[in-house]
Structure 1
Amino acid sequence: MKFADPFARSLHKPQDTYIFAASQLQGSRKTQEDYFTNFNDECFVVADGVGGIPNGEVASQLACETAIWAYKLVRLRRYYWMDKRMFLKRIFRSTNIRVWQKRRESGFEQGLATTLLVCIVGTHTYWIGNAGDSSAFVFHEDTLTKITQDDVDTQGRLTKSVGTLRYGMTPGISTGDFGIGDILLLATDGLTRYVPVPDIGEIMSHIGDTSESMTEATVELLKKAQQYRSTDNVTACLIKRIPVPHVSIR
Structure 2
Amino acid sequence: MISLIHYCAFICKFILKKVTGLLVAGRSHIGLVRKTNEDEYYCDGRGRFLIIADGIGGHQNGHIASQLAVDELHWFIEENIHLPAEALLREGFQRANAKVHSYQENKTNGGIMGTTLTAFIIRDGKYYLGHLGDSRAYILHQNSLPNQLSKDHTFWAELENLDEDMRQAMLKNRVDSPKNTLMRAIGPEPSCDPQFLSGDLSAGDILLLMTDGMYRYTNVEEMYEVVSYTDDLEEVALRFEQLALERGARDNLTIVLYRQEGGGQLCKTF
TM score, norm. by length of structure 2: 0.77
Q: Aligned partners of 2:254, 2:238: CA distance in 1, in Å?
A: 10
Q: Aligned partners of 1:237, 1:192: CA distance in 2, in Å?
A: 12
Match of 1:52 in 2: 58
Q: How does 1:5-154 map to 2 (within 5 A)?
A: 17-27=21-31, 28-39=33-44, 40-76=46-82, 81-82=83-84, 84-107=85-108, 109-143=110-144, 144-154=146-156
- The one of 237, 252, 258 equivalent to 1:233 is 252
Q: Aligned partners of 1:230, 1:206: CA distance in 2, in Å?
A: 22
Cα drift, residue 108 of structure 1:
5.4
Cα drift, residue 114 of structure 1:
0.4
Matched, 1:187 2:193: no
Q: Aligned partners of 1:203, 1:188: CA distance in 2, in Å?
A: 17
Which secondary structure state, in structure 2, belongs to the residue aligned with residue 205 of structure 1?
helix
Q: Aligned partners of 1:57, 1:204: CA distance in 2, in Å?
A: 29
> In proportion to residue count, which structure has more strand?
1
**Equivalent position amino acid for 1:240 in 2:** R
- The one of 161, 169, 182 equivalent to 1:158 is 182
- Rg larger for: 1
Instruction: Decide which moves more: 194-203 or 156-165.
Output: 194-203
Question: What do residues 178-197 of structure 1 show as CA deviations (whole Å, max 9, x unaligned)?
Answer: 12111111110001122122
* Identity level (%): 28
**Equivalent position amino acid for 1:54 in 2:** Q
Q: Aligned partners of 1:108, 1:139: CA distance in 2, in Å?
A: 44
Q: Aligned partners of 2:154, 2:187: CA distance in 1, in Å?
A: 16
Structure 2: gaps of 5 or more residues: 1-19, 157-178, 263-270
**Equivalent position amino acid for 1:59 in 2:** A
Cα drift, residue 110 of structure 1:
1.2
Q: Aligned partners of 1:241, 1:86: CA distance in 2, in Å?
A: 22
Match of 1:224 in 2: 243
Which secondary structure state, in structure 1, belongs to the residue aligned with residue 261 of structure 2?
strand
Match of 1:7 in 2: none
Cα drift, residue 237 of structure 1:
0.8
Match of 1:203 in 2: 226
**Equivalent position amino acid for 1:151 in 2:** H
Aligned residues: 219
Match of 1:12 in 2: none
Contact 1:89 1:170 in 2 (8 A): no
Q: Aligned partners of 1:132, 1:122: CA distance in 2, in Å?
A: 24
